[in-house]
Chains A and B, each alone.
Chain A
């Protein structure tokens, strides 16, 4: 249906008026939010916190997963050798290990080397020299083949521990496996928490919009009577929802930034103390902030859309009062 009373517009004019309409609507919604700054700030704060929690949690878990992932690739099996072995016995063992298909790399660390390294990393070389006798055993550090399943690795470890030359087998995998399952649990927990918090953001924004609708019922009814489309009535509320979500997302990002800068130093400490792999913070942090901001805006639009649609159904089925 064409509006006959409207002069025909060129495409450019149409775009201009479209753009004008939306800009005005955005400004009007912004003005509306600023009319009651206290309740706006409160609402935005609640949304911000509710968004910051899942974002922060999943950022932290992602980094942890990244770190343990890096540990996985450095999986080693350490074969501590018995002390009384001759060089001949050691090199025979080395040949045996090197020809094993399950083992990718074999590195021998003699007890002297081990002592030297320990002295360097611990800074207690002098003290050890004082001891006189070297307490450290010689070690074979084995890197298993990448394609090995955990079961195969277990089998390999069992075989290795039966070797006559071997005193003890240490396999870091067990530790990382435990960490893995803890992480998995935490991930599930964080997913559930995120869903709940995102739902609560939907409800907070939806309810705020619903209250806004109620305070403007007369305006809505008059507008409808004078031929407003559903979109026209919906539009200002969508913008309000968008702004709530956007501001909430920005606040959540700020909260992330603050907590990150507070945690950054102890975190670095942790990484260097335990020789962990530092996660690629910079990239993923920005990504998370952007995701939070856009996610917040998206949630805002969705929840106000739902709130307005529910109201419009009501409005259209009820009598004009």
Chain B
């Protein structure tokens, strides 16, 4: 469950990226956040992922007011979230296996359990054969899927994806969206930021449309709270 109450994010010198935004995403929902470049989509995801602090308002994740959680304890909330970057953000000096294993190592999983879980995640994205490769030896689509495997390996209840199909051809894009739907079907909350409004519409999930840091009516019905 994600709730924003009149959330404002001010970048000093850049103005407000989000302007008194209120929204509610119930558990196990799949939503698209759409809008033109600069609308505030990435900012929205980054606030949920605790990558940065909002300026005003209140953000609740699983009922927890994140502003009240000191940095020291935020790691726990961050482990509930898988994040997929448009530019992948893989560690290029490590193998695919090690990249995907990172969240498990961080969470302190027993080292005996790690290979099994990593293989399951790589299998899910169809990259089992490439586990020993380095990210730069892979295509952009493959790198994106490594990023997805890394985000889901820890089975987080919330998955955030920032332009996950931005660099990919339409066929691959649909494949990746199907993957997200699969995760969503087993109870994962999925929030996808994309400027490709048409694709979002075609997939018939809820759409949160942003413009200049505010939500605009996109005709998508609001869920019952």
A contacts, CB < 8 Å to B: 1, 3, 5-6, 9, 13, 17, 20-21, 24, 218-219, 222-230, 232, 316, 319-320
Given contacts A13-B110, A226-B78, A319-B51, 5 further A-B contacts (CB under 8 A): A17-B110, A225-B83, A226-B83, A226-B150, A226-B154
Q: Kindly state whether residue B220 has any CB partner on chain A within 8 Å.
A: no
Q: Closest chain B residue to A21 by CB distance?
A: B108
B contacts, CB < 8 Å to A: 11, 46, 49, 51-52, 71-73, 75-79, 83, 89, 91, 102-103, 106-111, 150, 154-155
Name B91's contact: one of A13, A222, A229, A232 (CB within 8 Å): A222
The answer to whether A229 and B102 touch (CB under 8 A), given A222-B89, A222-B91, A320-B46, is no
Q: Are A227 and B91 in contact (CB under 8 A)?
A: no
- Jot down 9 A-B pairs with beta carbons below 8 A, ordered by A: A3-B76, A5-B155, A6-B109, A17-B111, A222-B102, A225-B83, A226-B103, A227-B103, A229-B75
Q: Are A6 and B107 in contact (CB under 8 A)?
A: yes
Q: Are B72 and A225 in contact (CB under 8 A)?
A: no
Q: Give the residues in chain B near A319, CB-CB below 8 Å.
A: 11, 51-52
Q: Are B91 and A218 in contact (CB under 8 A)?
A: yes
Q: Are B111 and A224 in contact (CB under 8 A)?
A: no
Least CB distance, A283 to chain B, in whole angstroms: 44
State A225–B77 Cα separation when bound (angstroms): 10
Q: Give the residues in chain A near B150, CB-CB below 8 Å.
A: 226
State A9–B109 Cα separation when bound (angstroms): 10
Q: Are B107 and A230 in contact (CB under 8 A)?
A: no
Q: Closest chain B residue to A13 by CB distance?
A: B110
Q: Give the residues in chain B near A225, CB-CB below 8 Å.
A: 49, 51, 78, 83
Name A226's contact: one of B72, B79, B111 (CB within 8 Å): B79
State A316–B89 Cα separation when bound (angstroms): 19
Least CB distance, B26 to chain A, in whole angstroms: 20
The answer to whether A228 and B71 touch (CB under 8 A), given A5-B155, A17-B111, is no
State A316–B111 Cα separation when bound (angstroms): 29
Q: Closest chain A residue to B89 by CB distance?
A: A222
State A229–B70 Cα separation when bound (angstroms): 12
Q: Give the residues in chain B near A17, CB-CB below 8 Å.
A: 108, 110-111
Q: Closest chain A residue to B93 by CB distance?
A: A219
State A316–B53 Cα separation when bound (angstroms): 10
Q: Give the residues in chain A near B110, CB-CB below 8 Å.
A: 9, 13, 17
Q: Give the residues in chain A near B71, CB-CB below 8 Å.
A: 316
State A3–B76 Cα separation when bound (angstroms): 8
Most buried by B among A17, A24, A228, A316: A228
The answer to whether A6 and B78 touch (CB under 8 A), given A222-B91, A320-B46, is no
The answer to whether A224 and B78 touch (CB under 8 A), given A6-B107, A230-B72, is yes
- Please give me the 10 A-B residue pairs with the lowest Cβ-Cβ distance, nearest first: A227-B79, A320-B51, A227-B78, A226-B103, A227-B75, A228-B106, A229-B75, A1-B76, A319-B52, A316-B71
